[in-house]
Amino acid sequence: MIPRYSLPAMAALFTDEARLARWLEVEVLATEAWAGLGVVPAADARAVRDRAPVVDADFVARVDERERVTDHDVAAFVDVVQGAVGPPAGKWVHYGLTSSDVVDTALSMGLAAAGDLLIEASSALVAVLKARAVEFRSTPMVGRTHGMHAEPTTFGAKLALWCLQADRDRDRLRRARAAVAVGKLSGAVGTYSNIDPSVETDVCRSLHLTPVPATQVIARDRHAEYLYACASVGATVELIATEIRHLQRTEVGEAEEGFKLGQKGSSAMPHKRNPIKSEQLSGLARVLRGNLHAGLEDVALWHERDISHSSVERIILPDSSLLAYYVLVRACELIERLVVKQDRMIENLDRSHGLVFSQPVLLSLVAGGLTRDEAYRIVQDNAMRAWAERVSFRALLEADERVTVASHLLDEAFDLDRSLRHVGRVFDALESVD
């Protein structure tokens, strides 16, 4: 992932040093587990731990240099580690293991740590959405369907629904973290033919991973689930960002991204305040969805293993982790700094000359004795005229002799408070979100 979208906390998990350090910890723990069984001399196991090389840039360079000979990254890594430990203890490094035992278990360590960061960032987004939903709970605005004025709602209700969806994303992240927080040290084709199952148990316990049955590789549906959780985060953030982009349009002007001192919206037009963060987040969501597709392609492998998934995962798992984290953190900042134009919301609500109350008027006419189709035609005729002539919808209804309902029923139909009287229902659901 390019540095522009890499935040330090997540990026630190996917450096070459971090990856090889995880490999080394798996190897050392496996040697210690063998020692517990009496296979590896205890002194040799201690020597492996004590003489294990520091995984730094120099170590990575030595592994890379060795790989140019072995043309196998894990074999190169093992050679360098064994050389650093020295004889006789070095010979026990990688004893009974196959490459996937190390790579897959270490990958799970990294993804579990990444999952923790994603859940933390997701919780922050949920919290800020909830706080701002409560802040604007009673702020009326027009609800839109197909991009057109429909009926009144509140901006708080919109935020509350976003919060509930973000909370579902957090649940998906928790499940995905559990799905990938697994390990296997069962050897070639996964039959424990050259390794005692207790070695797997001990290593996974030390790494806080759950040992799982596997072929030579951990099943990739787990990683696809993780990628789906990341893509789902992106989709939710895109939903929010797309709405903000629409609300910030000049013709709408109901909300806008925070604009900091010294910021420039356009290199050419000084008046511009563009929704650039929302647009950026919308674009990154597309990358997350694309990575999910690649991850699903990785599920079907030949027989007990092949490595067609490996090259793909070296790209998409770090990138999706980094991007999902980035969009969560930036979305949280976006909502925190969002400028809400409450007066403009009321102004836009009134722009349709009362047409947003057409449904309660329709229901009043039906309750007054008209058939639904008769009532619909009367309301539609007056609504179209109100829009075309830019006149009061209610005034036209009152002048229409076909409308015979009592005036107080029209008062009720055009009452904004009546339209919003049950909006608190969404906030009842929000109470259980923490």
Task: Tokens for 241, please give them.
Answer: 């960002």
Q: 146 catalytic, yes or no? A: yes
**From the candidates 72, 193, 208, 266, which is the catalytic residue?**
266
**From the candidates 146, 271, 303, 408, which is the catalytic residue?**
146
Cis peptide before 152 (omega within 30 of 0): no
Tell me the one-letter amino acid at 344.
R
List, in order, residues 6 or more apart from 271 with CB less than 8 Å away: 265
List, in order, residues 6 or more apart from 172 with CB less than 8 Å away: 228, 229, 232
Query: CA–CA separation, 51 vs 72, rounded Å?
Result: 23
Q: 278 catalytic, yes or no? A: no
CA distance to 24, 240, 306, 342, 423, per residue, from 156 (Å): 50, 13, 51, 11, 9
**Coil, strand or helix at 71:** coil
Query: CA–CA separation, 322 vs 5, rounded Å?
Result: 7
Query: CA–CA separation, 161 vs 83, rounded Å?
Result: 58
Under 8 Å between Cβ of 417 and 357:
no
Q: Are strands 182-183 and 210-211 parallel, antiparallel or unpaired?
A: parallel
- Known catalytic residues are 146, 266
